[in-house]
């Protein structure tokens, strides 16, 4: 395990599996400058967290390389590109560039809102402050993920990134998917990997969907390179699968959900095996 100020890397130095895991939104560390700049109670920022999905990933983890963010998403969002800087959050940023839907809604590189809260900050951050976070927290995370994927690809001939997230329960209850797989509508991974994940969900009796309402964010967009044998898929788990009824603390479904993720990891590793590739 390697512990940095912003994330923890689990797994040996040399990859044991073609599968690499990323958990970018589960961080629960809120630096003092963040807390002193808030205009809302700190508790309001929980809605930005993929609450305790890191516990699911850690319980499912075997020998794979696994990255878990420590710092809260409110500090800097690892699933946004460096370009998604909000002029309403950061001084010195102009609004002249095209903005993504997430940025327009207040969920840029440094989020402007949390849940139903209005603006969460007492003041705008300086460009120097945001740039410092990019250099110390955002870039090192992505550099580490990139290096792990290349190491896995070089050793196994292929690498697959599973980017693990959680989502609020979708509606209508009982009919909406409990898991959403995102592969950027087929652009970030071979369809055979998505098919294997859908098969695992189906066998478990959990309703799953692909690319709706989540098709994948910056992590898989940045790191996927199927033509270079690096594939990436985002997985969103319904928080009600593994949290308590208040969606705050680990609940009775934790073992089931971590077991489900373990089965997905095993299925992807099997699909990435030389025999499966030869049959493609």
Mean pLDDT confidence for 193-206? 98
Look up the CATH number of the domain holding residue 43: 3.40.630.40
Q: Is the pLDDT of residue 5 over 90?
A: no
CA distances from 19 to 129, 142, 204, 262 (A): 34, 16, 21, 11
Strand partners, 3: 8
Q: Is the pLDDT of residue 275 over 90?
A: no
Q: Is the pLDDT of residue 279 over 80?
A: no
**Mean pLDDT, the chain, whole residue set:** 95
Q: Is the pLDDT of residue 117 over 90?
A: no
Which residue intervals of the chain are DSSP H helices?
32-37, 53-60, 101-104, 127-133, 139-156, 191-204, 218-223, 254-271, 274-278
Among residues 48, 38, 50, 49, the alpha carbon closest in space to that of 106 is found at 48
Please count the structural domains in the chain: 1
Mean pLDDT confidence for 84-112? 89
Q: Is the pLDDT of residue 46 over 90?
A: yes
The predicted pLDDT at position 118 comes to 80
The predicted pLDDT at position 95 comes to 67
96 confidence band (pLDDT: 50, 70, 90): low
What is the per-residue DSSP string for 36-58? HHBSS-GGGGGGGS-TTHHHHHH
Whole-number Å distance between alpha carbons of 80 and 59 = 26
Q: Give the helix, strand, coil percentages of the chain, each rounded to 5.
A: 35, 20, 45
Structure token digits, residue 206: 């959990």
The percent of residues in the chain predicted with pLDDT above 90, rounded, is 90
Which strands make up the sheet holding 2-3, listed edge to edge? 2-3, 7-10, 65-69, 19-23, 159-167, 230-238, 179-182, 208-210
Mean pLDDT confidence for 140-158? 98
The residue segments making up the domain with residue 119 are 2-278
Half-sphere exposure of 163 (CA within 13 A, CB side): 30
Residues 11-33: tens digit of each pLDDT: 999 999 999 999 999 999 999 99
The predicted pLDDT at position 211 comes to 98
Q: Is the pLDDT of residue 280 over 60?
A: no
Q: Is the pLDDT of residue 259 over 80?
A: yes
Mean pLDDT confidence for 61-69? 97
The percent of residues in the chain predicted with pLDDT above 70, rounded, is 97
Mean pLDDT confidence for 216-236? 98
Whole-number Å distance between alpha carbons of 118 and 21 = 33
């Amino acid at each position: 395990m390697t512990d940095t100020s912003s994330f923890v890397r689990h797994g040996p130095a040399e990859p044991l599996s073609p599968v690499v895991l990323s958990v970018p939104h589960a961080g629960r560390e809120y630096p003092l400058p963040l807390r002193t700049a808030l205009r809302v109670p700190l508790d309001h920022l929980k809605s930005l967290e993929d609450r305790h999905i890191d516990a699911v990933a850690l319980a499912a983890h075997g020998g794979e390389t696994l990255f878990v963010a420590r710092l809260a998403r409110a500090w800097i969002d690892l699933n946004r590109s460096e370009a998604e800087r909000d002029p309403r959050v950061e001084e010195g940023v102009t609004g002249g560039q095209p903005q993504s839907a997430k940025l327009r809604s207040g969920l840029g590189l440094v989020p402007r809102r949390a849940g139903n809260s209005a603006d969460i900050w007492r003041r705008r951050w300086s460009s120097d402050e945001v740039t410092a976070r990019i250099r110390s927290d955002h870039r090192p995370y992505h550099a580490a993920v990139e290096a792990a994927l290349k190491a896995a690809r070089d050793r196994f001939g292929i690498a697959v990134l599973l980017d693990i997230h959680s989502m609020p329960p979708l509606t209508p209850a009982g009919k909406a998917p409990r898991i959403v797989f995102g592969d950027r509508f087929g652009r970030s991974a071979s369809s055979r990997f998505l098919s294997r994940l859908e098969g695992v969900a189906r066998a478990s009796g959990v309703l799953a969907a692909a690319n709706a309402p989540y098709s994948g964010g910056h992590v898989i967009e940045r790191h996927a390179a199927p033509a270079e044998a690096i594939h990436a898929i985002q997985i969103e788990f319904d928080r009600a699968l593994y949290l308590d009824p208040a969606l705050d603390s680990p609940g009775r479904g934790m073992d089931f959900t971590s077991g489900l993720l373990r089965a997905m990891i095993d299925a992807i590793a099997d699909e990435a095996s030389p025999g499966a590739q030869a049959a493609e």
